[in-house]
Amino acid sequence: MKQKTQAIREEIEQRLAAGECATSKELIELKMEYLGKGGKISALSKGMRDVPAEERPEAGRLLGELRAWAEEQFDAREKELKRRELAAKVAGERIDVTMPAKFHAGGSVHPVTLVRRELEEIFSGMGFNIFEGPEIERDYYNFQALNIPADHPARDMQDTFFVGGEYLLRSQTSSGQIRVMEKQAPPIKVLSPGRVYRSDSDATHSPMFHQMEGLVVDKGITLCDLKGILDEFARRMFTAETKTRFRPSYFPFTEPSVEVDLSCKNCGGKGCRICKGTGWIEVLGAGMVNRRVLENCGIDPDVYTGFAFGIGLERIAMIKYGIGDIRLLFENDVRFLRQFKD
């Protein structure tokens, strides 16, 4: 037994010295070869059966010593390997803080996004919640429930992209009004921003543009509340001197309906090129929610009244930043976009 344990000892010493296991994985394999269940040292233990009884205590002691020694050897090597591996990993991940940084082109926020955020801030400050409806919309929400039946001439006001069947690309965020009123009982105070689509394209019209719908429904809401809220919006969005003007208009979903103008900030109302000499710039449509629209959503128009308005975000951005052509907003020319900062 003495010779056998000595031979194994030497064998392990040689193999470790020869650097046979350069990684922890190889070391584990080597360890298993000796100390594993079917390993060489375990095989010696099994051979104890054949050792004469008087020699057994001594053989057992030798075997125990060998096992303890081997474990020590492997453990020491394992620690050493782990230390080396960690050192190599740390060296590999070292960061040279003196290296020049990668170039990142600083982005800027799109002017329409800037306007949308500003509007959301102004109106949420007045207690409005935000609701976002789908862009692919059913005819019912975009038209019918808004008091625009299939054969209604008011459909001509919005050149609509029909997707197929009862589906279309929403032509106005007014569809959000219906979706909100269907789900929620008054009091309602909601803002519905989003993309809308119309088959229309020139310097002031884009086939895709953005609107922000506002809706307030409660007991005793009047046109004065609408005027008050829009006055506040105009002053906050533009200047404290900005005035609003209501002109009678027509929308099937409001009665009465108004077109809302703001005093021209460029000339202060005196008349200039931007306001075409009138002193006023048209910015949005609004009105008192038509009784039929309330009824379509299960709200009793004898108990509740409401107002709604629809703002074109591109239009506000063009007025605010003095942009003459709507197409500039969608060409993604960085020289243009870079001028707008948060």
Contact footprint for ligand DAH (CB under 6 A): 172, 174, 213, 251, 254, 285-287, 308-310
Angle at 283 between CA 281 and CA 289, to 5 degrees: 135
Residue 216, burial from CB neighbour count under 10 angstroms (0-12, 13-18, 19+): buried
Cβ at position 308, least distance to ligand DAH in Å: 3
Q: Report residue 23 as tokens.
A: 């990684």
Q: Which CB atom, from 251 or from 304, has the smaller least distance to ligand DAH?
A: 251
CB of 175 to ligand DAH, least distance (A): 9
| Element (DSSP H or E) covering residue 129 | strand 129-130
- Which is nearer to ligand DAH, 279 or 285 (by Cβ)? 285
DSSP string, 71-120: HHHHHHHHHHHHHHHHHHHHHHT---TTSPPPP-PPP---HHHHHHHHHH
Do the beta carbons of residue 215 and residue 133 sit within 8 Å?
no
How many Cβ atoms sit within 10 Å of the Cβ of residue 158? 19
Q: Which is nearer to ligand DAH, 30 or 297 (CB)?
A: 297
Of the two residues 131 and 251, which places its CB atom closer to ligand DAH in the complex? Answer: 251
Q: Which is nearer to ligand DAH, 160 or 174 (CB)?
A: 174
- Shortest spacing between CB 309 and ligand DAH, in angstroms: 5
Question: Taking the complex as a whole, how short is the minimal distance between the CB of residue 266 and ligand DAH, in angstroms?
Answer: 24
* Residue 279 vs 310, nearer CB to ligand DAH: 310
CA 151, CA 165: separation in Å to the nearest integer? 16
Nearest-approach distance from CB 117 to ligand DAH, in angstroms: 21
**Cβ(284)–Cβ(244) below 8 Å:** no
Q: Cα angle vertex 143, ends 202, 310, to 5°?
A: 55
DSSP 182-239: HH-PSSEEEEEEEEEE-S--BTTB-SEEEEEEEEEEETT--HHHHHHHHHHHHHHHS-
Interatomic CA distance for residues 22 and 123, integer angstroms: 68
Least Cβ distance, residue 294 to ligand DAH (angstroms): 13
Given the complex with ligand DAH, which of 5 and 173 has the nearer CB atom?
Answer: 173
